Structures are given as structure tokens and as C-alpha cells.
């Protein structure tokens, strides 16, 4: 594993930053737990830094990937956030939100976000972004056996999938209504992701260490083995440079990122990590946070998937971003 400065052609959006910083490219925005704020990842790849804290004092926040709006929670009040990256960041209340979530996933087009709480067993979609987000009825998952493990949403927000772990583990799909339809049973479906074309749902079964590909049109299931990974726990979908479907998989105890070619049914590459990954959080169109900051001294670890998967970190201090390849 080689260390050094890593220059990556990450897709950036050029926006005007706040009055406290210079104008420049921004990879995306992220909720920063140590400062309880929204912060930009800005600057050119290879020299990226964390921007100033915006909207401090938030219990939870989720900016829409590669966009300048998002949802946040302050004093248990759900807020629509707009104007990120400008001097006119603003918030306004969103009526009808059930409670403060523990997680959120956005549709690729930025029109929907699914909020969820694992500990309180509920999920709630907010549609109509960015102009007029509307809170749809929250769904109580207590009637489903097991524990909520993960939530996935397709690119347009029309379908939401959930993974339930426990004695009656299974994967369920909702197509905009209040009911979830069972798709398949699994030993321990710990993570989900819709394929880039929305035709399939990828299910990571930690119990069997398999990747299951569920075809949405007929619910057929294909199981693929992952012998290269000791403890897979998080997954996201994408395409490679040849437009072939791939799955990015994080493995916890062995600290590995796997890139699995779904069409070829084989692991194309494994990247050793010298940090403990925490999961996937979409940051830009081809960029994910894979290790969030917990303390103020922690860096932010990112995965860039194009043109070739690579990992780098954004330091806590105003210093050059270093990475591993």
C-alpha cells in the first residue's frame, strides 16, 4: 500500500462559497458530527479541505449529494436547508416530520429523501425537493419481524427497499404506498443498494457473506459469493469505465474495499484500508464518504469511483489531502 499525495479527477461543482472562504470547486457537502454542522469538502482533488461550519447546533443533517440543499434537524424540528455554498444559507421548517432520524438516503435525482430510525423502527419519505418538500406518512416497521438494518431508494424515489435482520430476516419493497411487499428471505441482510439502472436490488448478506442480486421485474434472486471479504457490511452500486455494473463493498474487520463486477461475477479489485470504514454516504456524483469524522481531529475518508476507484482523506486541519492507492 503506497502513501502520498493523491490527485483525483473527482467531479466537482463550481459554486460561490460563503463569505468566510474563497470561491472554488466543491466536491459536496456533509454533516459533520464533531461540530454538529454542515461542512463543504472544497478545493481541488489532492488538496481538498473541510469548509467552515455552517448551521451549527444540529442534531442531524443530510445534504442532497452534489446539490446545494438538504434536510436538517435542530431542537427536534425538521428543516429545509437551501443555499449551501453561498452567503445566503437559509432554513425553513418542514411540517409533518415524525421525528429526528438516525439516517437518510437520497434518490439520485435529488427529488426524494428517505429518513429512518433503526432504534425506533420507522421510515418516512420526503418528496418534492428542492422547491417544496412534503413529508409523506411515516411507516411504523414494528409489525415486521426483526430489526431495521438498512434502507435504499431508487434513482427517482419511486421505490424504497428495507432490510430487516433478526429471526425472520428479509428484504421488503415499497412502491410509494404505505405497505412493504416481501421480496426474499435472507440470513442477515445487512445492506442494500439499487443498481445504477434501478433494474436490480443488491443485497449484502452478512450471514452467508454473499451478494444477492434481486431482479425487480420478477423478484428472481441470484447469489454471488464473496470469499475475498471477511466481514462485508456496506454496499453501493455504480458502473465502471465500460458501463458495466459494479458493487462497491466495505468489509469491517479486515478493513477492505472490494470492487465487484456484477456482470462478470467476480471481484475485480480489493483495496486495503488503514482505517475503520463506517459505511457509505453519497457526497458527489462519483464520491462517497466511507469513514465519517467522530472527533474534531479525525480526517474525512472518501472514495472516488471514477475514473478508477481510489481512496483519499481530507484532513481536519487546513492542509493538503493525502491518500492511499
22 contact partners, CB below 8 Å, separation of at least 6: none
Cell 443498494, located at residue: 193
The predicted pLDDT at position 316 comes to 83
**DSSP code string of 21-65:** S--EEEEEEEEETTTTEEEEEESSTTS-EE---BS-S-SEEEEPT
The predicted pLDDT at position 24 comes to 59
Position with higher pLDDT, 72 vs 23: 72
Does residue 258 carry a pLDDT above 90? Answer: yes
- Read off the pLDDT band of 99 (50, 70, 90): very high
C-alpha cell at 322: 493525502
C-alpha cell at 186: 435472507
Taking alpha carbons only, the member of 235, 169, 180 closest to residue 202 is 235
**CATH 2.130.10.10 holds for 99-282:** yes
- Backbone region of residue 49 per phi and psi (left: phi > 0; alpha: psi in -120 to 50; beta: other values): beta
C-alpha cell at 84: 449551501
Distances (CA, A) of 277 to 35, 91, 138, 301, 306: 20, 31, 30, 8, 20
Does residue 165 carry a pLDDT above 70? Answer: yes
Neighbours of 113 (CB within 10 A): 22
How does 55-84 read in b/e, with b if 16+ C-beta sit within 10 Å? beebebbbbbbbbbbbbbbbeeebbbbbeb
Give CA–CA dist 30/35, Å, rounded: 11
Q: Give pLDDT tens digits for 311-321.
A: 988 998 743 33
Cell 432504534, located at residue: 119
Q: What is the mean pLDDT of residues 49-72?
A: 94
pTM reported for the whole predicted model = 0.88
C-alpha cell at 88: 445566503
The predicted pLDDT at position 145 comes to 78
Question: What's 223's DSSP letter?
Answer: E
C-alpha cell at 200: 436490480
Percent pLDDT > 70 in the chain is 88
Q: What is the mean pLDDT of residues 145-174?
A: 92
Q: Give pLDDT tens digits for 234-255.
A: 999 999 988 999 999 999 999 9
The predicted pLDDT at position 178 comes to 67
Q: What H or E segment, with its residue span, contains residue 258? A: strand 256-261
- Read off the pLDDT band of 142 (50, 70, 90): confident
Q: Coil, strand, or helix at residue 156?
A: coil
Q: What is the mean pLDDT of residues 22-44?
A: 84
Residue 287 sits at the vertex; the CA angle it makes with 19 and 290, to the nearest 5 degrees, is: 100
Does residue 28 carry a pLDDT above 70? Answer: yes
Q: Find the range with the poorest average confidence among 29-43, 108-122, 153-167, 175-189.
A: 175-189
Question: What's 269's DSSP letter?
Answer: E
Give CA–CA dist 133/106, Å, rounded: 13
The predicted pLDDT at position 168 comes to 77
Q: What is the mean pLDDT of residues 80-109?
A: 96
Q: What is the mean pLDDT of residues 203-215?
A: 95
Task: List 225's β-bridge partners, or say none.
Answer: 210
The predicted pLDDT at position 25 comes to 83
Taking alpha carbons only, the member of 233, 228, 262, 234 closest to residue 246 is 262
Taking alpha carbons only, the member of 99, 88, 92, 100 closest to residue 36 is 100
The predicted pLDDT at position 10 comes to 37
Amino acid at each position: 500500500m503506497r502513501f502520498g499525495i493523491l490527485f483525483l479527477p473527482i467531479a466537482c461543482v463550481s459554486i460561490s462559497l460563503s463569505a468566510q472562504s474563497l470561491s472554488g470547486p466543491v466536491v459536496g457537502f456533509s454533516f459533520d458530527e464533531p461540530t454538529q454542522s454542515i461542512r463543504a469538502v472544497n478545493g481541488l482533488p489532492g488538496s481538498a479541505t473541510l469548509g467552515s461550519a455552517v448551521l451549527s447546533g444540529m442534531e442531524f443533517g443530510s445534504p442532497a449529494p452534489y446539490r446545494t440543499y438538504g434536510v436538517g434537524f435542530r431542537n427536534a424540528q425538521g428543516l429545509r436547508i437551501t443555499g449551501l455554498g453561498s452567503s445566503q444559507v437559509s432554513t425553513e421548517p418542514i411540517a409533518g416530520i415524525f421525528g429526528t432520524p438516525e439516517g437518510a438516503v437520497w434518490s439520485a435525482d435529488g427529488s426524494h429523501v428517505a429518513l429512518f430510525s433503526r432504534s425506533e423502527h420507522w421510515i418516512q419519505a420526503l418528496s418534492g425537493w428542492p422547491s417544496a418538500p412534503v413529508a409523506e406518512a411515516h411507516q411504523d416497521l414494528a409489525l415486521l419481524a426483526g430489526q431495521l438494518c438498512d434502507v435504499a431508494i431508487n434513482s427517482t424515489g419511486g421505490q424504497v427497499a428495507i432490510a430487516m435482520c433478526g429471526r425472520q430476516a428479509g428484504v421488503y419493497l415499497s412502491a410509494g404506498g404505505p405497505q412493504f411487499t416481501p421480496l426474499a428471505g435472507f440470513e442477515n441482510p445487512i445492506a442494500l443498494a439499487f443498481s445504477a439502472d434501478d433494474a436490480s436490488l443488491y443485497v449484502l448478506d452478512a450471514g452467508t457473506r454473499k451478494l444477492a442480486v434481486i431482479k425487480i421485474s420478477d423478484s428472481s434472486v441470484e447469489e454471488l459469493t464473496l470469499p475475498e471479504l471477511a466481514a462485508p457490511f456496506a454496499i453501493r452500486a455504480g458502473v465502471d469505465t465500460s458501463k458495466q455494473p459494479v458493487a462497491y463493498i466495505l468489509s469491517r474487520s479486515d478493513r477492505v474495499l472490494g470492487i465487484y463486477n456484477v456482470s462478470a461475477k467476480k471481484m475485480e479489485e480489493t483495496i486495503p484500508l488503514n482505517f475503520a470504514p463506517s459505511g457509505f454516504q453519497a457526497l458527489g456524483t462519483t464520491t462517497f464518504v466511507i469513514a465519517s469524522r467522530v472527533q474534531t481531529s479525525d480526517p474525512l475518508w472518501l472514495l472516488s469511483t471514477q475514473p478508477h476507484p481510489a481512496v483519499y482523506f481530507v484532513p481536519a486541519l487546513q492542509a493538503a489531502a493525502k491518500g492511499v492507492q
